[in-house]
Amino acid sequence: MQQLIDQFPQAVKTDVSLAPYSWWKIGGTADGFIEIQSQEQLVQVVRVLKTQSIRWCLIGRGTNLLFDDAGFRGCVLRLGNGMAQMRFQQNKLTVQAGCWTPAVALAAARRGLSGIEHTIGIPASLGGLICMNGGSQRKGIGDIVETVTALSQGGELVVYPRSECDFSYRHSRFHMGDEIAVAATLKFIAHRPYEEQRPVLLGILRERNRKFPRKLPSCGSVFKSSPELYEAYGPPGKVIEDMGFKGQRRGNIEVSARHANFIVNNGGGSSVEVLSLVREIMQTVHAKTGIVMQPEFRYLHPEKGIVEIS
């Protein structure tokens, strides 16, 4: 870590609490933390991290991440406001990965470009949204991605066409964590005046406010929907509710009484409590249905980086 501090003395912060960077408001301290302000800085920092074999992890807005109570023994990179530019050209938008997704959706709508309305209520960075192929109403951002510019494993900037992004339900090639989406070009196929889109956007936000617990810290939906589970038992929220978990608590962590596929932090909750509740739900659902539910959120292990929860 010292080599990194020596090379970027202004940028590297040490012993930074991760809780404020997590939507769940959970997490201990990271040894190092850098708010990246430009593509050039990102390239240079990653080069040093790789040559010095320093453990690192990239985060967006932390809306789909569980940080451990023990924090992270490495350096966390977060794309800052310096990486949040948007450039429209006719029916295309080139957008940097640090952009706030609802702002992108609104800017597109104001130009009469349609196709991204479903993301208006998702509190993500555009890079995080691309990594997760996030979306709502059975859509994913990958549907309108034309290209993604990424920092490759080898440290070069490469442009991937959509066909090479490996988009599928809540998944993309960026899931592996060794490539960083730096910017994307989105291609809109439909034109629709803003006056027509505005009520649609407001309707989506109203519906989300009605259905989801918005006031308490969470990670959005905890479990992915699966066709197998859906067909036999319904969506994850219904299954979890039917198994009696709604309102169940582990310390300060609770299965939301509003929507059982949300786990909320009532204040002071820990990663141990979240993982214990998540595992109990997975084991119970498996025992009763034979189906293993997959968590949608990602867990940052203090020493192993992002790992699958089992």
Ligand X SMILES: Cc1cc2nc3c(=O)[nH]c(=O)nc-3n(C[C@H](O)[C@H](O)[C@H](O)COP(=O)(O)OP(=O)(O)OC[C@H]3O[C@@H](n4cnc5c(N)ncnc54)[C@H](O)[C@@H]3O)c2cc1C
The one catalytic residue among 114, 221, 270, 271: 221
3-state helix, strand, coil in the chain (%, to 5): 35, 25, 40
Residue with tokens 């992270």: 72
For position 220 contacting ligand X by CB under 6 A, the verdict is yes
For position 97 contacting ligand X by CB under 6 A, the verdict is yes
For position 27 contacting ligand X by CB under 6 A, the verdict is no
Which of 153, 173, 171, 170 minimizes the C-alpha distance to 161? Answer: 173
Q: Is 192 a catalytic residue?
A: no
Q: Is the four-CA dihedral 204, 113, 184, 103 of positive or negative sign?
A: negative
Number of H helices, E strands in the chain: 8, 17
Whose Cβ is closer to ligand X: residue 16's or residue 79's? Answer: 79
DSSP code at position 67 = E
Alpha helices in 94-235 (DSSP H): 101-110, 126-132, 194-211, 227-233
Reading the block at residue 153, the tokens are: 């494993």
Q: Is 195 a catalytic residue?
A: no
Q: How far is the CB of 296 from ligand X (least distance, A)?
A: 7
Whose Cβ is closer to ligand X: residue 102's or residue 112's? Answer: 102
Which of 287, 283, 237 minimizes the C-alpha distance to 262? Answer: 237
Q: Is 170 a catalytic residue?
A: yes
- With CB under 6 A as the rule, give the number of residues binding ligand X: 32
Whose Cβ is closer to ligand X: residue 72's or residue 188's? Answer: 72
Of the candidate residues 11, 26, 46, 61, the single one contacting ligand X (CB under 6 A): 61
For position 185 contacting ligand X by CB under 6 A, the verdict is no
Q: What pairs with residue 57 in β-bridges?
A: 76
Q: How far is the CB of 190 from ligand X (least distance, A)?
A: 21
For position 46 contacting ligand X by CB under 6 A, the verdict is no
CA distance readout (Å), 18 to 22, 23, 95, 175: 7, 10, 26, 21
The one catalytic residue among 117, 250, 296, 298: 296
Q: How far is the CB of 90 from ligand X (least distance, A)?
A: 25
The residue range among 2-10, 43-51, 60-68, 247-255 that interacts with ligand X, by the rule CB under 6 A, is 60-68
Q: Which positions are catalytic? A: 170, 221, 296
Residues lying near ligand X in the complex (CB under 6 A): 23, 58-65, 79, 97, 122-125, 127-129, 131-132, 134-136, 174, 177, 180-181, 218-220, 298, 306
